[in-house]
Structure 1
Amino acid sequence: MPKEFSSADIDAVYSVIANRRDVRHFIPGEVSEEVLLRLLTAAHQAPSVGLMQPWRFIRIKDGAVREQICQIVDDERQATAAALGDRGDAFMRLKVEGIRECGEVLVAALMDRRERHVFGRRTLPEMDLASVACAIQNMWLASRAEGLGMGWVSLFDPARLAGLLGIPDGAKPVAILCLGHVTAFYTKPMLELEGWARPASLDALLSTDRWRPDPQPC
């Protein structure tokens, strides 16, 4: 018989999923080595197509390197604001990262192993990236269960960050992960609280048997 979970266990899983947040605001405090190892282990237990395990994690401990990462992110933030046109000023008011404040910074990278792992990738080559995303989500949920905040920062030039961290050809950084203590978790996604965007309902994104076009905005 499959292993059974108690009702409390099941409720806890759904509660962690519902209360996970992309965190940008942190308070000082180190993440213990024991907890960090648990979080990385959770990430490493993620599913991966063909068992390729394409994720690589780089822990940033050097303060000077962390500051250089901040500069890379800020440069892209400025470029994104310029690309947004009329919404640029509103975007610049958003807090998009917590690299300086968080207890730990990790960079998640994708290792291109498609030559060795054709399983599941012949028609969907993106599955290696999907596998890395599963690892990050595992860490996100485990962090929330541990009472720690985590934020996924995607505003950076991948080639520039790869150069800074010595990431070789055939690999690519896909996320800067900020991890640390918080005073409280956002009651809703931060971008919703800031009025930047609203999440769609499940009903709007679910169809049966055939694709249903998205409703036209009013």
Structure 2
Amino acid sequence: MADSNPHRYPDADVAAVYRAIAERRDMRHFLPDPVAPQLLERLLWAAHLAPSVGYMQPWRFVRITDRALRERMHGLVEEERRATARALGEREEDFMRLKVEGLLEAAEVIVVALADGREKHVFGRRTLPEMDLASVACAIQNMWLAARAEGIGLGWVSIFDPDKLAALLAMPAGARPVAVLCIGHVEVFYPKPMLEIHEWATRKPLEAVLFENAWQAEADAASAG
């Protein structure tokens, strides 16, 4: 029984965690209202409290407050958006109709990057060096869930050339941008993921991605078909 676990949160708190997970959305539409400094700090602290392999804390956050710099970043995103559309072939027109970022509308823009000097961190990464990236993803997810609980929209933009963005932000050798986060107030949260609304894709059923004891090729093939 749930009440027999002394470490369990009260029912209302547990429900709030699951609600934030279920209602989190990748937002693209924002209101111009500013985000209070204390609220932004809470979101960044939520990110900084994320787990990291070997406690390496590989995340770095760059807050973009210069409008001209934001516009140059938007240019990089637009350049890659068009290249991505061309690479999609028959879905090019569908993709170009999607709104894939809110860089010029969001109240705040945060670039999340991998720190330089990560090669010195071996604990937990000797055979899986990509665990630094996994750790940064955990930080972003922490911020995303905290933002949803606070009623603030967050959109993860990954359509950019990382080398060009790194150069634009004067990142040192070895550092690498992972995400451009658009953060701000929204008029409404999407009722379901935007790409589902636009019939770009649908969420797979849980049984299609859950295996037991070994990889189930037939289930994997069925979910792909």
Measure, in 2, the Cα distance between the counterparts of 1:133 and 1:200.
21
**How far is 1:195 from its partner?**
0.6
Give the secondary structure class of the aligned counterpart of 1:16.
Answer: helix
**How far is 1:97 from its partner?**
0.1
The structure with the greater share of residues assigned to helix is 2
How do 1:18-167 residues align onto structure 2 when only pairs under 5 Å count? 18-167=22-171
Q: Answer yes or no: is 1:215 the counterpart of 2:215.
A: no
**How far is 1:211 from its partner?**
0.4
CA contact (8 A) 1:52 1:113 kept: no
**How far is 1:3 from its partner?**
4.6
Alignment CA distance shift 1:117-1:76 (3 Å)? same
Task: Give me the TM-score of the superposition, normalised by structure 2.
Answer: 0.94
Deviation string for 1:9-53 (max 9, x for gaps)?
Answer: 001000000000000011111111000000000000000011100
The structure 2 residue matched to 1:176, chosen from 175, 180, 187, is 180
Measure, in 2, the Cα distance between the counterparts of 1:156 and 1:36.
24
Measure, in 1, the Cα distance between the counterparts of 2:127 and 2:116.
16
Count of residues paired in the alignment? 218
CA contact (8 A) 2:155 2:181 kept: yes
Alignment CA distance shift 1:191-1:132 (3 Å)? same
Task: Give me the TM-score of the superposition, normalised by structure 1.
Answer: 0.97
Structure 2: runs of 5 or more not aligned: none
- Provide the identity percentage: 61
Deviation string for 1:68-124 (max 9, x for gaps)?
Answer: 010000000000001111110110000000001111000000114333210000010
Give the secondary structure class of the aligned counterpart of 2:123.
Answer: coil
**How far is 1:5 from its partner?**
1.4
The one-letter code matched in structure 1 to 2:83 is A
Give the secondary structure class of the aligned counterpart of 1:179.
Answer: strand
The one-letter code matched in structure 2 to 1:140 is W
Give the secondary structure class of the aligned counterpart of 1:173.
Answer: strand
Give the secondary structure class of the aligned counterpart of 2:17.
Answer: helix
Q: Which position in structure 2 is the counterpart of 1:191?
A: 195
Superposed CA RMSD in Å reads 1.2
The one-letter code matched in structure 1 to 2:193 is P
CA contact (8 A) 1:148 1:180 kept: yes
CA contact (8 A) 2:58 2:118 kept: no
Measure, in 2, the Cα distance between the counterparts of 1:184 and 1:34.
22
Structure 1: runs of 5 or more not aligned: none
Measure, in 1, the Cα distance between the counterparts of 2:91 and 2:77.
19
